[in-house]
Amino acid sequence: MRRPYPMEGLPQHVTVYEVGPRDGLQNEPATVPAEVKAEFISRLADAGHKVIEATSFVHPRWVPQLADADELLGRLDRRPGVRYPVLVPNERGLDRALAHGVAEIAVFASATETFAAKNLNRSLESQFDMFEPVVARALEAGVRVRAYVSMCFGDPWEGPTPVSQVVSVGRRLLGLGCYELSLGDTIGVATPGHVTELIEAFDATDRLAVHFHDTYGQALANTLAALQAGVTTVDASTGGIGGCPYAESATGNLATEDLVWMLHGLGIETGLDLDRLVATSTWLAGLLGRPSPSRVVQALSKG
Amino acid sequence: MRRPYPMEGLPQHVTVYEVGPRDGLQNEPATVPAEVKAEFISRLADAGHKVIEATSFVHPRWVPQLADADELLGRLDRRPGVRYPVLVPNERGLDRALAHGVAEIAVFASATETFAAKNLNRSLESQFDMFEPVVARALEAGVRVRAYVSMCFGDPWEGPTPVSQVVSVGRRLLGLGCYELSLGDTIGVATPGHVTELIEAFDATDRLAVHFHDTYGQALANTLAALQAGVTTVDASTGGIGGCPYAESATGNLATEDLVWMLHGLGIETGLDLDRLVATSTWLAGLLGRPSPSRVVQALSKG
C-alpha cells in the first residue's frame, strides 16, 4: 500500500456516482442480457459502490440496450445502503419507475438550444414543462431527483456554452426541487479553468456533481479542478465505457478506476476497492469484446 | 476559436519540451529511417516547437532505434531559434555530440538504487562519477546540460521513492552545473499531491521541468498540479508515443496534443499550432502502424 500524498484544499471524502450500467452501456452495440447487467451491478456493489445508476426508462426505440429496464429492476439484488437511481425522461418513465418502487430518479436536461431540440425535441425553455410534473410527482411520492445538465461546456453546433446560460438552466432545475445537478461535459471539451469558472458561478457547490467525458483527455485534470473548487460528487463509468463504440478507440466517460487511482493517491476516501473495480472492468471488457479504455485497467490487468 | 478560460495562479507561458523523436521513438520496434526522423523533426518545428530532443548517443546495443544518431544529426534541418538537445549517457556520447556541434545535451540519472543498477550499471552514489566529467566538459565547451531524473515518484522494485532522496539526487545534478532538472514519473504512478510535495521540497521551481507518463491516466492532472506549483516547462511526446509498444494499448509519455489542448484552454501561450501537431501525429501513426494513444489526436483525426 502506497502512502497517500494529500493536497491542500481537497475534500476528505468523495462520492463516486457510478454511471457504467446506464451511461456506459447505453451506447454499446452488443446487447447485454439483463442477468449480466444485474451481475455487473452486484459486482459494483461488492467493490464498495454506494450509488449505481442502474438503467433508464427512456423509450426502447432510442436506447435499445436498456429496453430491459423492467426486467433488470426485477432481478436487481438491492443491498442496504446502496442507492440505485434510474434515468427517467418523462411522466411515462416516472410511472414505470414508481411501479418498481424506485427511491431515486434522474432527469436529463440540456444547457443548449440545439441539443434540447435534438435530444429532447424541446426548446431550451420548454424543456422545463416536461421536467416540472416529473419532479413534482416524484417528490410527492418521496422519490429524490437528480438532474443531469448536458453540454455544460460546449456543444458541437453552438461552440462554447455561456456560463450564465448553464447557471440559469441549473438554477431552474434546483428550483423545481432536484437535490443535485450533474454538470456534464458531454463532448469532453472543457479545460480546468472553465470548470472552476462554472462551479464558482453557481454559488451552490454542495449541490453540484461533475460528469466528464475523456474525449480530449481532460477528464481527470478537470476533476482535480472541480475538487479544488469544492465539489465532492464525481460521476464515473467502470472501465471508462460509454461514448461512441463505433470509433476504433472509443473514449467515453471518465473511467472510475483512473479517478480512484487519483483520489486514493491524494488520500481521499471513496470506500471503493480498486482491485475489485479492475476485475469487474476486465470481466466486462471480455463480454463486450473490446479492451477497457481505462489506463488503470489496462495497466493492472496485464500479465 | 474558443475563448480561453484562465485559472488563477498559473503561468502565462509554458515551454513544451518535445521528447517524441527520442523518448517516444526509442521503444518502437519498427525501425524508422533517419530521413523520416529528420522529416518528423522538421514537422515539429513547423508546428512551432522551440525545443525538440532529437536523438540519443546511447550505445546502439541498448537502443537500436537511435543507432542512426550520427546520420540524423547530419540530416537535421536546424532552424534558427529552435533547440535540438541530444541525450548523452557518458563521455563517449559527449565526444560524438561535440563532433556534431550540438549546443545542448541531456544526461539521464536515477532517483532509485535499483534503477541506477539496472539502467546505468551504477549505484545511486556512483552515478555521479559518470555525470561529473560529462557535465564539466560540456560546460567547458559551452554546451548546456539538462538532467533527467527518472523514477522520481516510485519504481517497480522499491515502491514509492522518498521525496528527500529525489531532492538529494536532483540537487547534486544542479550542483554539477545542469541548468534544469526534468523530474520523471517513469512508471506513471504519481498523483497530484505527490507532485506538489516534490516540487515544493526542491525550493528551486524555476529550474524544474516535469516529465509524466500516462500509464495510470494521471499525466495531465499531475501536470496541472505542477503548473499550480510554479513549473513552466513540461515534457511531452507527439501523439503520446513512447512506453511499451508491445502492449496492445501502449500508454507512453504525456501526449503533446492533450497537453496543448489543456494549456490553450487555460489561455496559456505555447507558440504551438494544435492542428499541425495532430497532422504530424496522424502521419507518424500511419508510419508506425498503430493509432496514436493521444485522445486529442484520436478525436481530431476522425472523419
- Bigger pLDDT: B293 or A162? A162
* Among candidate residues B95, B171, B183, B86, the one with its CA nearest the CA of residue B133: B95
Nearest CB neighbour to A7, from listed B2, B193, B251: B193
Q: Is the pLDDT of residue A90 over 80?
A: yes
Q: Is position A3 within any domain?
A: no
* pLDDT at A250 (0 to 100): 46
So what's the pLDDT on residue B173? Answer: 98
Q: Which three cell numbers stand for residue B147?
A: 538532467
> Which pLDDT value is given to residue B248?
47
Q: How many percent of chain B have pLDDT more than 90? A: 88
Cell of B43: 514537422
Q: Give the pLDDT of residue A245.
A: 45
Cell readout for B229 is 506549483
> Chains A, B: CB contacts under 8 A, how many?
140
In a domain, B10, yes or no: no
Residue of B nearest to A229 (CA): B7
Q: Check CB contact under 8 Å for B299 and A255.
A: no
**What's residue A197's pLDDT?**
98
Q: Is residue B34 part of a domain?
A: yes
The answer to whether residue A277 is domain-embedded is yes
Whole-number Cα distances in Å, B206 to A15, A293, B142: 37, 36, 21
For an interface test with B, give the residue of A220, A263, A294 to mutate (most B CBs within 10 A). Answer: A220
* Mean pLDDT for chain A overall: 94
Burial of residue B111, with CB atoms counted within 10 A of its CB: 0-12 exposed, 13-18 middle, 19 or more buried? buried
pLDDT in tens, A46-57: 999 999 999 999
Name the pLDDT band for B301 (thresholds 50, 70, 90).
confident
| pLDDT higher than 80, residue A244 | no
The band of B251, judged by pLDDT with boundaries at 50, 70 and 90, is: low
Q: Using the beta-carbon criterion (under 8 Å), do A221 and B220 form an inter-chain contact?
A: yes
Average pLDDT estimate for B48-60: 96
pLDDT at A30: 85
Q: Strand B144-150 vs strand B233-236: parallel, antiparallel, or unpaired?
A: unpaired
Q: Which residue has the cell 434510474?
A: A86
| Average pLDDT for A273-294 | 94
For A93-121, write each residue's pLDDT tens digit.
Answer: 999 999 999 999 999 999 999 999 999 99
pLDDT value for B290: 85
Q: How many domains does chain A have?
A: 1
* Tens-digit pLDDT profile for residues A287-301: 998 889 899 999 998
Is residue B249, in this structure, part of any structural domain at all? yes
- CA of A10: which chain B residue's CA is closest? B193
Instruction: Judge: A193–B225 Cβ closer than 8 Å, yes or no.
Output: no
Residue A224 with chain B: CB contacts under 8 Å:
192, 221, 224-225
Mean pLDDT value across residues B236-241: 95
pLDDT on residue A249:
43
Question: A246 vs chain B: nearest CA distance in angstroms?
Answer: 11
The complex's ipTM works out to 0.96
CATH number of B291's domain = 3.20.20.70
- CB count in 10 Å sphere of residue A245: 15
Please give the mean pLDDT across all residues of chain B. Answer: 94
Burial class (CB in 10 A: 0-12, 13-18, 19+), B289: exposed
Mean pLDDT of B261-265: 98
Q: How far is A62 from chain B (nearest CA, A)?
A: 24
**Of the listed A30, A136, A244, A299, which one is catalytic?**
A244
**Chain B residues inside the 8 Å CB shell of A2:** 154, 159-160, 189
For residue A246, what pLDDT band results from cuts at 50, 70 and 90?
Answer: very low
Q: How far apart are CA A113 and CA A4, in angstroms?
A: 44
Q: pLDDT above 70 covers what percent of chain A?
A: 96
The partner residue sitting opposite A215, judged by closest CB among B189, B196, B299, is: B299
Tell me, what's the pLDDT at B27? 84
For residue B268, give the chain A residue with the closest CA: A193
What angle do helix axes B192-202 and B219-228 make, rounded to 10 degrees? 40
Residues A194, B249: C-beta atoms closer than 8 Å: no
In this structure, is residue B118 part of a structural domain? yes
Question: Active-site residues of B: which are they?
Answer: 244
pLDDT at position B246: 47
Output the nine-digit C-alpha cell for B59: 550505445
Q: Is there a contact between B214 and A295 if contact means CB atoms under 8 Å apart?
A: yes
pLDDT at residue B244, as a whole number = 55
Q: Where is A182: in which H helix or E strand?
A: strand A180-185
Residue B3 resides in a domain? no
pLDDT-derived band of residue A135, with 50, 70 and 90 as boundaries? very high
- Percent of chain A's residues with pLDDT above 90: 88
User: Is B1 a domain residue?
Assistant: no
- DSSP characters over chain B: -PPP---TT--SB-EEEE-IIIIIGGG-SSPPPHHHHHHHHHHHHHTT-SBB--EE-S-TTT-GGGTTHHHHHHH--PPTT-B--EE--SHHHHHHHHHTT-SEEEEEEESSHHHIIIIISS-TTTHHHHHHHHHHHHHHTT-EEEEEEE-SS-BTTTBSPPHHHHHHHHHHHHHHT-SEEEEEETT----HHHHHHHHHHHS-GGGEEEEEB-TTS-HHHHHHHHHHTT--EEEEBGGG--S-TTSTT---BPBHHHHHHHHHHTT-B----HHHHHHHHHHHHHHHTS--S-HHHHHHT--
Cβ distance B295 to A261 less than 8 Å, yes or no, reads: no
* pLDDT at residue B303 tops 70: no
Residue B198 near residue B226 (C-beta atoms within 8 A): no
Q: Shortest CA distance to B181 belongs to which of B171, B194, B191?
A: B171
pLDDT of residue A29: 83
Type of residue at A18: E
Q: Which domain holds residue B233?
A: 15-300
Would you state the cell numbers that stand for residue A111, as one nine-digit string? 444547457
Contact list in A for residue B220 (CB cut-off 8 A) is 217-218, 220-221
C-alpha B129/C-alpha A298 separation (Å) is 39
A168 SS3 class: helix
Question: Which of B195, B218, B251, B254 is most worth mutating to test chain A (most A CB atoms within 10 A of its CB)?
Answer: B218
